[in-house]
Amino acid sequence: MVFALNPLVSVVMPVHNGGAYLAAAVESILTQSHANLELILVDDHSTDDAITTLNKSDRRLKIIASECRGVVAASNTGFTHCEGEYIARMDADDISLEGRLECQLDYLAQRREIDIAGCRVEIFSDEGIQGGLQRYQAWLNSVCEPEQVHRQIFIESPLPNPGIMLRRSALRELKGYREMVWAEDYDLLLRADAVGMQMGKPEPILLRWREHDTRLTHTGTRYSHENFMQAKTHFLAHHRLKGRGVIIWGAGPTGQKIHDFLTKEGTTVVGFIDVHPRRIGGEKRGLPVWAMDKCKEPGLPMILVAVGAAGAREDIAGFMSGTELNEGEDYLFVA
C-alpha cells in the first residue's frame, strides 16, 4: 500500500469491531473536500471482518495494529503515526460531513488563539432522538466561543471527541490521552483548559454523531455519571478553584455527591443553596442549607450550581443576572 505524502491533516480512527458502520465512517473521511489527509485506522484487536472487507485502494488509508488493548492505547498508537500538522479524531460509527476538515482548518487559520477546534453536531439514531438528547445537542451547539467553553466545561464535555481537531503543538503538550477512571476525552479537554489552551467551534454542523446502544459511552465504566463527576471535581479542586472554598447550589443527590468528591480532593464546602422549602433551614452533610437570596450577600465563596433538571440552568442564570455575581468568576454551572 502506498501512503499519502506530506498530509496536512492526520485523522486517527480507533476501531474495535467496527461492524456495519465502519465503511461509511471511513468513506466520510476519504471523500472530504480537503483531500490532503491521511486516515490512520487503528485496529484495536478486532474479531469481526469490518476492517478486512474495507476497500483499501485509497493510498491515504493507513491501517495499523494497536500495541495494547482499549481506546486510549489505540488512539495514542495512532497519534505516534501522524505526519500532519493538524490531528483530527474520528470514530468508527459516525459520519463527518464533506466540508468538516476544510472548515476546521479555515477556522484554525483565522483563529490563531484556538488550540483545539471542535464542531457542531447532529445526533442521530435509527429511532430518532428526543428529550434529553435533544437538549444535549442544543447545549453542545450553543457552546462555541472559547470563553463559553471555559465557563461551561464543568457541565459536560463541550467538544465531542470524534469531532475534534488539534494543532500538533497542542497534542504534543497534552501528550495524548491518559488511562484514568474517568473518560479519556473529557480528561484531555479538562487538562487543556487547566493549562490555558483555548477551544472553540466553527459555525456549521460538521459531524453526524450516531447514537446507539453499543456505543462505548454507554458500555464503558469510565463514562458513568459518577466518574464524570469525579473528573469535574478533581479539576475544579486542583485548577479552577485554586484553594477557594465553595457553596453548592443544589442540596439533592447530585449536590451531595459533588460535596463528597470535592471534600476528598481537599476543597472546603461551607454550605448549600436550595429552593425546596423542606430543605431550606436544615442541614445536608452537616452543613447549612440556605435560600437562594444567600447569593446576594457580599464576600461569598465560589458558588457551584449542581442542578441539572431541564430548564434549571436557564432559571438560575436568570436569577443570577439580577445579582452582582459573574459566571466564571463568582459562580459556575457543574451539572
What's this model's pTM, rounded to 2 decimal places?
0.95
Measuring CA to CA, how many Å separate 332 from each of 137, 154, 326?
Answer: 20, 8, 9
Residue with cell 485509497: 58
Query: What letter would DSSP give residue 161?
Result: G
Query: How confident is the model at residue 223, as a pLDDT?
Result: 86
Query: What letter would DSSP give residue 240?
Result: I
Sign of CA pseudo-dihedral 196, 202, 207, 209: positive
Q: How many Å separate Cα 312 from the centre of its chain?
A: 21
Which residues are bridge partners to 122 per DSSP?
Answer: 208
Query: How confident is the model at residue 43, as a pLDDT?
Result: 98
Per-residue pLDDT of the chain (335 residues; tens, 9 = 90+): 344 569 999 999 999 999 999 999 999 999 999 999 999 999 999 999 999 999 999 999 999 999 899 999 999 999 999 999 999 999 999 999 999 999 999 999 999 999 999 999 999 998 888 888 999 999 999 999 999 999 999 999 999 999 999 999 999 999 999 999 999 999 999 999 999 999 999 999 999 999 987 776 767 788 899 999 999 999 999 999 989 999 999 999 999 999 999 999 999 999 999 999 999 999 999 999 999 999 999 999 999 999 988 889 999 999 999 999 999 999 999 99
What string of H, E and C letters represents the secondary structure of 106-154?
Answer: HHHHHCCCCCEECCEEEEECCCCCCCHHHHHHHHHHHCCCHHHHHHHCC
- Which residue ranges form the domains of the chain, and what is each CATH number? 9-222 (3.90.550.10), 225-333 (3.40.50.720)
Query: How confident is the model at residue 1, as a pLDDT?
Result: 38
Query: How confident is the model at residue 3, as a pLDDT?
Result: 45
Q: How many Å separate Cα 21 from the centre of its chain?
A: 22
